[in-house]
Amino acid sequence: MFRSLCSGFYRTTALLFIATAPFLASCTKNDTVDPTPITQPGSGTTTTPGTSTTATPGSNTVTVVASVSYIAQNTNLSLLSAAVLRAGLTDEINKANITIFAPSNDAFRAGGYADAAAINAAPVADLQRLLRNHIVNSRIDRSAIPTGVNTTYQTTLANNTISVYKVSLDDISVNNGKITQGDNPTTGSVIHIVSRLLIPASVNLTDLVKSNTNLSFLAAAIARADAATQAAINATNSTGMTLFAPTNDAFKAAGYADVAAIQAASQATISNLLLYHVLKFSAYSQTFQNGADIATAQGTTVRTNVASGKVTILGKGNGTSVANITTADQVASNGVVQIIDRVLMP
């Protein structure tokens, strides 16, 4: 009888186990499968193919938009946004694979555009020229800019270039401005915010000199120089040119009392003197290095010194008397003019 009771107990227990097994198996399966993918910490940036969003694990999603939208959304670029609309250049700004050097609001104000009303009052053609001088037809991230050399980039404005000089990733000059916020990605392109307007030029170095009455002695010297010297000053090359331009008072202090004295001087002397004022690259004032010896088109060097943002130039024949840059960074179509208060003596 005892054996019969035990047999019944074992049969009942077995049936209960079999009946509950599917339920237990189902619970186990659902608890161990997680349909959500896991991103491992430190795996970097994840880009969703076919979308315009880039998400970094552990941070908020950053949406990459077209360039015009990026500009419109940035309060520091509101004047640029107004200029793009006024110029009708939305399609050009939104192109892929370009670089846009975007002037800040302060850059526009310093360039004479006080507000959006001033921009909307400007001729459309002038704004188109201005904006096209801020666009390069290739994508250039800051890391791609060579360090320690002057690099010239052709803009989308015909016959105009900009000069870029990189000391470090966070210290990059563009003409007479600085990149204040770089590598801002837009759809297929990149925007670097700059502190100055990149003013286009329509005249070469000689014509720029002629337009300044305080440089009439220099204009006379260029006219007196030989053809090779004139061609060197007006050369158009991939790196641009720099002309140190002594004022009329500087020429007088150097012994040239008037234009007639320059015209009466030896052509060879004047040519040699002028070439000593020419560099074969565009050198904006903030790119000069302290204590640097720079080769001139004449063949010998001048020395640059920088202190507290002030640039001086010393010629080999000037002893210790330096020339000060009194008016910096006058842009010409083939380079830049630095007006100085002393003639540089070879």
- CATH classification at residue 131: 2.30.180.10
pTM: 0.77
Alpha-carbon gap, residue 215 to 220, rounded angstroms: 9
- Of 47-51, 57-61, 222-226, 282-286, the range with the highest mean pLDDT is 222-226
Query: Once rounded to an integer, what is the mean pLDDT over residues 87-115?
Result: 97
154 and 98 together in one domain = yes
Query: For residue 8, is it within any domain?
Result: no
189 and 314 together in one domain = no
pLDDT at 236: 87
What is the phi/psi pair of residue 110, to 5°? -65, -25
The total number of structural domains that make up the chain? 2
Query: For residue 129, is it within any domain?
Result: yes
Q: Which of 194, 223, 256 corresponds to the end of one domain?
A: 194
183 and 252 together in one domain = no
The confidence band for 238, taking pLDDT boundaries of 50, 70 and 90, is confident
Comparing 22 with 79, which gets the higher pLDDT? 79
308 and 264 together in one domain = yes
228 and 264 together in one domain = yes
Domain hosting 189: range is 56-194
Alpha-carbon gap, residue 244 to 300, rounded angstroms: 15
Alpha-carbon gap, residue 338 to 329, rounded angstroms: 6
Query: For residue 69, is it within any domain?
Result: yes
* Statement: residue 12 has pLDDT above 80: no
pLDDT at 255: 97
Per the prediction, the chain carries an average pLDDT of 86
Comparing 16 with 245, which gets the higher pLDDT? 245
User: How many other CB atoms are there within 10 angstroms of residue 94's CB atom?
Assistant: 19
Comparing 343 with 148, which gets the higher pLDDT? 343
Q: Which of 169, 194, 219 corresponds to the end of one domain?
A: 194
Query: For residue 113, is it within any domain?
Result: yes
Q: Which of 170, 194, 218 corresponds to the end of one domain?
A: 194
138 and 214 together in one domain = no
* Statement: residue 45 has pLDDT above 80: no
Query: For residue 235, is it within any domain?
Result: yes
Residues 165-197 pLDDT 10s: 999 999 999 999 999 999 999 998 999 999 999
151 and 221 together in one domain = no
184 and 252 together in one domain = no
* Statement: residue 127 has pLDDT above 60: yes
Share of the chain above pLDDT 90, in %: 77
The confidence band for 23, taking pLDDT boundaries of 50, 70 and 90, is very low
Query: Once rounded to an integer, what is the mean pLDDT over residues 280-291?
Result: 93
172 and 211 together in one domain = no
311 and 292 together in one domain = yes
Query: For residue 152, is it within any domain?
Result: yes
pLDDT at 309: 84
Query: Once rounded to an integer, what is the mean pLDDT over residues 208-218?
Result: 98
Query: For residue 219, is it within any domain?
Result: yes
* Statement: residue 37 has pLDDT above 60: no
CA atoms within 13 A on the CB side of 304: 23
Query: For residue 179, is it within any domain?
Result: yes
